[in-house]
Amino acid sequence: MVFVACVSSRSQDNPIDTIETEKASLVDNVIRQLHLDILKEPIDLDIALYKVSPNNSEETIVVIPETVNEEDDFYEFNTNIFIVDNSTGQVTHQYFESSKTNGWTSDAIFIDEIAIDTTAYKLTHSKNAFGVIVKWRSMSQPNPYRQESISLFTKEKDSLKKVLDLYTIYESTGEVNVNACYAKFNKRVNKISVSNSTTVGYFDILVDQTICEEVFQEDENGECNPKERIISTEKKMLKFDNGAYSKTELFPTDPKIERATIDSISINEIKRFCDTKYSTIYDYYKHEKIDEVAIWSDKMFGRCCTEADLDYSELLKFEITASTSNTKYPSDNLSDHYYRTAYVFKENKGAEIHLKLIGVEEHKYHTNLLVDEVLKPSDIILKPFKLSLVNGYVKSEKTFKENGRVKELKILLNDTYQGTVELQDTPLVQQFEMDFTFFKNDEVTLIPISFYRGTTYDDICISEIQSSLSQITHPSINGKYKVTELRQVGNAIKKEKK
């Protein structure tokens, strides 16, 4: 048996040599302290490794892979991991696993590197873990392959316990034309972190998965440059079960997840006055170029063409703003009453959409009062909270598919999380409800957190958000406030001021 380890030797004049000497001394100390008979060959500092523990700066993690069963291009490693007390040099915890069960095998797909992860993983309120990453790759140039997997270890008395076994955090497969500028790589990245939810006392591990495609092709300048496109993103969960984290990925269970449904009322309103019966919703949206009134939705925008017998709720609307700006596709497009315009933002820009209650432009005309002079802070405006919207860029089927759409929206009320809405990937008007009460001075924030990918562009688009509260206001508002009575009150106040 031979223990081998990492980092090539350097001349004595190189200051990094001091580090290598420290490594050799530390590894040699561990070997001698544990009476490991491995002196048949000198220690190779190209595979063994050590790092100060991310959980305790007074301790050092030492990993010594042990080469076994070596034949030509095939070999395996036994796993040897130690925790060393920095002040005494004593081994306080150790772990051994045979190559027969640990998966540390090199063949056509060979082990390229073993590394210690410096992330501190807090698994319980009193138990921390560290990671060891194994990286594999192939030698094939036409079909390159790479994989990285992580195992997590935690202290248990005077030993170490593996609580996550070789979970894949990166994988890449490729097709390469070695004689021309063309290569395509499919990549899957699983970023792991510790969540706030627990299972049997252990924090669940959240997995943020991104699948993307990277293509190298010659551009118009004759240069061979890559273009990367994100195919999908997804969140999954690893849960502690029977002494270790299961590698079976589960979708996070959020009791506050609501799924949007098709808004048939708004869709019927769009179609009802249109003389031509079109085959697709895109054609109805396009009709606004001919006659925008014909496809008007009272539910989305408020009553269009008459003011007879107004309910007070028809004088209320949302002011809709966004945290990111776009000159060509501004947030004003969210409430401009045109389906074929869109608010456009980038996924990584942290876009937030804010909704506040205001009165329509004609509020004072009809009542001679401001909204704040009518509504009391205790008035229930919405219960439950309801909203309709048009997801994506619905100018045409082409623009809808080429650009990204929102998949999930996190909903906040006055900066407090209320739940998550999963939107449908459809150009139709859709709606959702959230079980909370919305008052006059409240603000609702919509935060896009996951997305349906466009086939061409990395833009994320929303065409329209319901601005009118006319059909969704709590019944108590129209029961309490009558437009004709408010007008009389407003006129009286106006006379008194004169």
Q: Which of 199, 226, 253 is the last residue of a domain?
A: 253
| Helix, strand, or coil (residue 236) | strand
> Looking at the domain assignment, is residue 302 inside a domain?
yes
Q: How many domains does the chain have?
A: 2
Kindly state the helix (H) or strand (E) to which residue 494 belongs, with its residue range. Answer: helix 483-497
Last residue within a domain, chosen from 231, 253, 275? 253
Smallest CA-to-CA distance from 394 within 379, 384, 407, 405 is with 405
Residue carrying structure tokens 């990277």: 214
Cα of first residue to Cα of last residue in the chain, in angstroms, is: 102
Is 443 found in the same domain as 353? yes
Residues 166, 305, single domain; the answer is: no
Q: Are residues 211 and 270 in the same domain?
A: no
What torsion, rounded to 10 degrees, do the Cα atoms 33, 39, 41, 45 define?
10
Q: What are phi and psi of 468, to 5 degrees?
A: -80, 140
Q: Is 464 helix (H, G, I), strand (E, B) or coil?
A: strand
User: Could you tell me which of 138, 163, 139 has the C-alpha nearest to residue 150?
Assistant: 163
- CATH number of the domain encompassing residue 320: 2.60.120.260
- Whether 266 and 193 map to the same domain: the answer is no
- The β-bridge partners of 250 are 237
Residues 306 and 176 in one domain: no
Q: Which of 235, 253, 271 is the last residue of a domain?
A: 253
- The DSSP secondary-structure symbol of 311 reads B
Nearest to 151 by CA among 102, 106, 112: 102
Read off the DSSP letter of residue 333: G
Q: What is d(CA 364, CA 24) in angstroms, rounded to the nearest whole number?
A: 82
Q: Are 245 and 273 found together in one domain?
A: no
Q: For residue 459, is it within any domain?
A: yes
Whether residue 9 contacts residue 44, with contact meaning beta carbons closer than 8 Å, is answered with no
Q: What DSSP string describes 143-182?
A: S-EEEEEEEEEEEETTEEEEEEEEEEEEEEEEEEETTTTE
Q: Is position 324 within any domain?
A: yes
Helix (H, G, I), strand (E, B) or coil at 41: coil
| Domain carrying residue 81 | 2-253
Per-residue pLDDT of the chain (498 residues; tens, 9 = 90+): 333 332 222 233 443 344 445 555 666 666 666 555 443 334 445 677 889 999 999 999 999 888 887 887 788 889 999 999 988 888 999 999 998 899 998 888 899 999 999 899 999 989 999 999 999 999 888 889 999 999 999 999 999 999 999 999 999 998 888 888 888 999 999 999 998 888 888 999 999 888 888 888 887 788 888 888 887 778 888 999 889 998 766 655 555 688 999 999 999 999 999 989 999 999 999 999 999 899 999 999 999 877 788 999 999 999 999 998 899 999 999 999 999 999 999 987 889 999 999 999 899 999 999 999 999 999 999 999 999 999 999 999 999 999 999 999 999 999 888 889 999 999 999 999 999 999 999 999 999 988 998 999 989 999 999 999 999 999 999 999 999 999 999 888 878 876
> Whole-model pTM above 0.75?
no
- Look-up of token digits 């305790």: 56
Residues 198 and 292 both lie in one domain: no
The rounded distance, in Å, linking the Cα atoms of 471 and 278 is: 26
Domain shared by 79 and 205, yes or no: yes
Contacts of 452 (CB under 8 A, 6+ apart): 392, 404, 405, 406, 407, 425
CA-to-CA distance for 149 and 104, rounded, in angstroms? 11
In a domain, 333, yes or no: yes
Q: What is the dihedral of CA 472, 477, 483, 486, to 10 degrees?
A: -150
103: left (phi over 0), alpha (psi -120 to 50) or beta: left
Q: Do 35 and 154 sit in the same domain of this protein?
A: yes
Looking up tokens 């008052």 gives 439
Same domain, 334 and 186: no
Co-location of 345 and 221 in the same domain: no
In a domain, residue 498? The reply is: no
Distance CA 447, CA 102 (A): 42
Residue 466 lies in a domain: yes
DSSP strands (E only) in 239-327 = 240-241, 244-245, 257-259, 261-262, 316-322
Give the ranges where 319-443 is alpha helix by DSSP (H). Answer: 363-367, 371-374, 397-402
As given in the structure block, the two tokens for residue 113 are: 């590197």
Q: Give domain status of residue 34, yes or no.
A: yes
Residue 338 resides in a domain: yes
Q: How many CB atoms lie within 10 A of CB 248?
A: 10
439 & 410 share domain: yes
295 is written with which tokens? 């496809």
